[in-house]
Amino acid sequence: MVDRILGRILGKTSSAMRMKDEAWMRHANPWSFATRPPTILHNCLLVSRVDRLFFLIPLAVIAAWTFLNPRVFPKPRSTRNRASKGVFGERIMVSRREYCVEIPEHHVKAAFALTMLSLAGAILLFYGIVALEPLTTVAGCITACFGMLWYVDRMVWLFEDLKDHPVSKNWVY
């Protein structure tokens, strides 16, 4: 059941992002990874804006950046780094049915728990921004960032466990 719920969440996110092979390889660039967490942090700055119309402009910019981020950086010169391996682990997790990859249950459960933690943080963050509550906003921001970074760490572990799979063995160079 956890696998099915996680599959739906990741599948919807992946299809919304329209990630193809080229985008995944560009997303494996450490600069792509390094510029993702600040996107969450920028949401914290929005809480200071009382003017609701002004609030929508940076929110639209952040949403656009979230979509464009995996596409604007070039393919990395090397993928022998944690950021690239985290992206590859996420790619395996998201596309496991397509690639016919059997994911060990402990990875699925951890990915589900960390996805729920990040989602809870994002909801808290959004509520804090809308309600203009700085403490709630900061708590949501920290929770979302913590969950996301821990998720990436788990995806590195997943990739290391499956790096010799025929699908992923040529991703590291």
- The winner for highest mean pLDDT among 23-27, 50-54, 108-112, 130-134 is 108-112
Asked if 82 and 139 count as a contact pair (C-beta separation under 8 A), the reply is no
Percent of the chain with pLDDT over 90: 45
Instruction: Return the exposure string of 27-41: e unless at least 16 CB atoms fall within 10 Å of the residue's CB, then b.
Output: bbbbebbeebeebbe
User: Cα–Cα–Cα angle for 67, 38, 12, nearest 5°?
Assistant: 35
The pLDDT value recorded for residue 98 is 84
Among positive and negative, which fits the CA dihedral 161, 166, 168, 173? positive
How confident is residue 45, by pLDDT bands cut at 50, 70 and 90? low
Of residues 98, 80, 99, 88, the one with CA closest to residue 158: 88
* Cα distance between residue 154 and residue 47, in whole Å: 31
- Residue 17: which pLDDT band, with cuts at 50, 70 and 90? low
- Report the C-alpha gap between 167 and 99 in whole angstroms: 7
pLDDT at 157: 97
**Mean pLDDT, residues 93-112 taken together:** 91
Predicted confidence (pLDDT) per residue in 104-143, tens digit: 999 999 999 999 999 999 999 889 878 888 899 889 989 9
- For range 17-37, the mean pLDDT: 84
Q: The tokens of 106 are what?
A: 């402990």
Q: Is the pTM of this model over 0.75?
A: yes
- Confidence bin at 70 (pLDDT 50/70/90): confident
| Average pLDDT of the residues of the chain | 85
- Report the C-alpha gap between 150 and 48 in whole angstroms: 28
pLDDT of residue 156: 97
Confidence of residue 56 (pLDDT cuts 50, 70, 90): confident
